[in-house]
Amino acid sequence: MSQNIEHLPEEQPALRMLPMPRDINAAGDIFGGWVMSQVDVAGSIAAMRRTRCRVVTVAVNSFVFLQPITTQYLVSFYSRVARVGTTSITVDVDVYAETGYDNVKILKVASAQLTYVAVNEDGSKRLIAPEQS
């Protein structure tokens, strides 16, 4: 289930969003597909920064929703490279939500791992260059 935490991670989020009323589902929570879409964007940002090229999503390895999100939450997506292969890159994404003004509550609301493939302009796979120091 959800994990109440005191502080957001130290690193900068890849993405920070404020869900809008149009993003809610029939139960009144933010639609899971909206969260998944933003996770994919946040993960691709980390992948593109590391590969320095276009990437495409090839797999959602895992995705866990820990807590419903409402339009009252500011949602932050933190992504980090987990593994770099020859042409693919795996990224972990953690999602946190902040709610409240006077008494801010921070929750870890989702966690995912996605794999991307580096591609050329024509969509063919390309090698990922070694990391430069």
**pLDDT for 71:** 86
pLDDT level of residue 102 (50, 70, 90 thresholds): confident
- For 37, the token pair is 């879409």
pTM (two decimals): 0.92
Query: What is the 8-class DSSP label of residue 129?
Result: P
Is the Cβ–Cβ distance between 109 and 96 less than 8 Å? yes
CA distance 54 to 114: 15
Is pLDDT above 80 for 121?
yes
CA distance 25 to 18: 16
Is pLDDT above 70 for 4?
no
In order of 5, 63, 73, 76, the CA distances from 98 in angstroms are: 10, 20, 5, 8
